[in-house]
């Protein structure tokens, strides 16, 4: 069936996603299965399952097992959770099994909510019509990527999802896992948007970190992938007391982005001849180079100019003394591009929140 979440650009007929596709704002008004984790009824998907929620749970449960994680920063805890599933220390194994089971069950309940599309949950999502719910029901495959879906944790989640659907008597989605998902969005961009026999700088601006790589494409395939050191995402504040503060923070973030891209390009130029078109995956909804100003750390860049790609092109061209072109792509859409050959599927990135990309999207 036709994907109701895809819009089409009037400029070049390229398809794109808007915030309508977001799962984070969906509400579990009625649980599709009771007796598993009834306390999440009434929550949004983001309140029930996200990295901050899991981190808070790790800290709470670890204390009960006498595990001291006080000195560990939040960003390290999902990795520690994954490693703890195979720890030699029984306390760590038990703590990890308890946390992963809780959130594996929750993930199963959230996907079951989408699959069943019960009336109460449809009414709680007023920006979705019946076609949106029917599309989720028609999907065959859910591809889970991101740090929370990797290694042993991802496999446990897959088992829990299957169990939840079996208990509900509902035919499950086919769950695909992709363990090495660190650079999946960048590879998706390169695979679909790079011209053949070229070398490009490709970046992924996430809410937590910035990944960078130089990618060479030859004979229709990705021939070389040279990663640069990842950097922290800075200036990610998203709530402000005034428009003046918002614009000030936007300018600081923009400077950081320009400096990061320019430095990355110069490093690439030391050993290769990168194309003047830079491909960027960004944690924001994009359309013809414009950003969505509603939510997220990158939304405030609209205070500078909604057509952010044009701003980047101007500043980077001046900084690098060449005619730079920039392609901005929604980060989960970039990941979905890598799986374009998987029909009737959706790519869900389990990170700070739920990222959603549809593999049937057509981008030129």
- For the segment 107-165, what is each residue's pLDDT rounded down to a tens digit? 999 999 999 999 999 999 999 999 999 999 999 999 999 878 888 999 999 999 999 99
The model's confidence at residue 352, banded by pLDDT at 50, 70 and 90, is: confident
Domain-terminating residue out of 138, 173, 194: 138
Task: Let me know if residue 88 belongs to a domain.
Answer: yes
Range of the domain at 78: 15-138
Specify the CATH number for the domain of residue 188: 3.30.420.40
H runs (alpha helix) in the chain = 45-48, 51-64, 77-84, 90-116, 119-123, 130-138, 151-168, 184-193, 243-271, 308-320, 331-337
- Cβ–Cβ under 8 Å, residues 282 and 16: no
- How many whole angstroms separate alpha carbon 334 and alpha carbon 203? 11
**Separation in Å, CA 143 to CA 260, 331, 336:** 31, 15, 9
**Token code pair at residue 344:** 């009737």
Same domain, 213 and 308: yes
Same domain, 193 and 313: yes
Same domain, 130 and 220: no
Same domain, 331 and 191: yes
Task: Let me know if residue 194 belongs to a domain.
Answer: yes
Same domain, 202 and 334: yes
- How many whole angstroms separate alpha carbon 92 and alpha carbon 12? 53
- How many whole angstroms separate alpha carbon 305 and alpha carbon 291? 9
Same domain, 214 and 306: yes
Task: Let me know if residue 292 belongs to a domain.
Answer: yes
Question: For 61-64, which contacts have Cβ atoms below 8 Å and span 24 or more sequence positions?
Answer: 61/95, 61/98, 61/99, 62/95, 64/95
**Separation in Å, CA 142 to CA 107, 136, 199, 219, 349:** 12, 10, 32, 30, 10
Q: How does pLDDT run across 263-320, given as a tens digit for each residue?
A: 999 999 998 889 999 999 999 999 989 999 888 899 999 999 999 999 999 999 999 9
- How many whole angstroms separate alpha carbon 109 and alpha carbon 106? 5
* Domains held by the chain: number: 2
Same domain, 238 and 329: yes
Q: How does pLDDT run across 31-41, given as a tens digit for each residue?
A: 999 999 999 99
Give yes or no for residue 180 having a pLDDT over 80: no
Mean pLDDT estimate for the chain? 94
Same domain, 198 and 318: yes
Same domain, 125 and 247: no
Task: Let me know if residue 274 belongs to a domain.
Answer: yes
Tell me, rounded to whole angstroms, the distance of Cα 313 from its chain centroid. 24
**Token code pair at residue 131:** 């076609």
Query: What residues are paired with 278 via a beta bridge?
Result: 326
Task: Let me know if residue 174 belongs to a domain.
Answer: no
- Decide: helix, strand or coil at residue 226: strand
Domain-terminating residue out of 138, 163, 196: 138
Task: Let me know if residue 211 belongs to a domain.
Answer: yes
pLDDT of residue 150: 81
Give yes or no for residue 200 having a pLDDT over 90: yes
Same domain, 101 and 232: no
Give yes or no for residue 102 having a pLDDT over 90: yes
pLDDT of residue 18: 87
pLDDT of residue 178: 83
Same domain, 133 and 206: no
Task: Let me know if residue 86 belongs to a domain.
Answer: yes
Of the listed ranges 119-128, 138-147, 169-178, 348-357, the one predicted with least confidence: 348-357
Relative to beta strand 290-291, strand 221-232 is unpaired
- Cβ–Cβ under 8 Å, residues 28 and 42: yes
**Token code pair at residue 272:** 């290769």
- How many whole angstroms separate alpha carbon 347 and alpha carbon 142? 6
Give yes or no for residue 181 having a pLDDT over 80: no
Give yes or no for residue 179 having a pLDDT over 80: no
Same domain, 22 and 126: yes
Task: Let me know if residue 143 belongs to a domain.
Answer: no
Q: How does pLDDT run across 6-17, given as a tens digit for each residue?
A: 999 887 778 999
Domain-terminating residue out of 138, 156, 172: 138
H runs (alpha helix) in 65-140 = 77-84, 90-116, 119-123, 130-138
């Amino acid at each position: 069936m036709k994907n109701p979440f895809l819009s089409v650009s009037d400029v070049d007929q390229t398809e794109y996603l808007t915030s309508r596709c977001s799962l984070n704002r969906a509400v579990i008004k009625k649980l599709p299965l009771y007796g598993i984790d009834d306390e999440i009824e009434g929550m949004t998907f983001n309140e029930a399952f996200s990295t901050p929620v899991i981190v808070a749970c790790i800290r709470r449960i670890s204390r009960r097992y006498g595990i001291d994680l006080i000195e560990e920063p939040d960003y390290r805890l999902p990795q520690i959770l994954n490693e703890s599933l195979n720890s030699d220390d029984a306390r760590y194994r038990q703590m990890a099994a308890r946390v992963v089971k809780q959130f594996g069950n929750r993930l199963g309940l959230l996907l079951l909510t989408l699959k069943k599309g019960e009336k109460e949950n449809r009414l709680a999502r007023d920006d979705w019509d019946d076609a949106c719910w029917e599309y989720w029901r028609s999907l065959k495959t859910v591809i889970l990527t991101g740090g929370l879906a990797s290694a042993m944790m991802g496999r446990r989640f897959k088992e829990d999802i299957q169990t939840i659907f079996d208990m509900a008597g509902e035919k499950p989605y086919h769950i695909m896992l992709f363990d090495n998902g660190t650079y999946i969005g960048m590879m998706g961009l390169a695979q679909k948007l790079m011209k053949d026999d070229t070398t490009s700088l490709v970046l992924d601006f996430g809410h937590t970190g910035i990944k960078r790589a130089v990618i060479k494409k030859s004979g229709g395939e990705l021939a070389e992938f040279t990663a640069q050191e990842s950097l922290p995402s800075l200036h990610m504040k998203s709530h402000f007391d005034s428009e003046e503060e918002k614009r000030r923070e936007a300018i600081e973030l923009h400077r950081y982005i320009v400096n990061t891209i320019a430095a990355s390009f110069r490093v690439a130029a030391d050993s290769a001849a990168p194309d003047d078109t830079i491909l960027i995956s960004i944690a924001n909804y994009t359309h013809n180079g414009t950003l969505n100003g509603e939510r997220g750390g990158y939304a405030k860049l609209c205070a500078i100019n909604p057509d952010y790609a044009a701003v980047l092109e101007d500043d980077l061209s001046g900084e690098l003394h060449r005619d730079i072109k920039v392609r901005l792509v929604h980060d989960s859409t970039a990941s979905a591009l890598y799986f374009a050959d998987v029909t009737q599927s959706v790519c869900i990135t389990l990170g700070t929140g739920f990222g959603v990309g549809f593999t049937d999207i057509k981008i030129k």
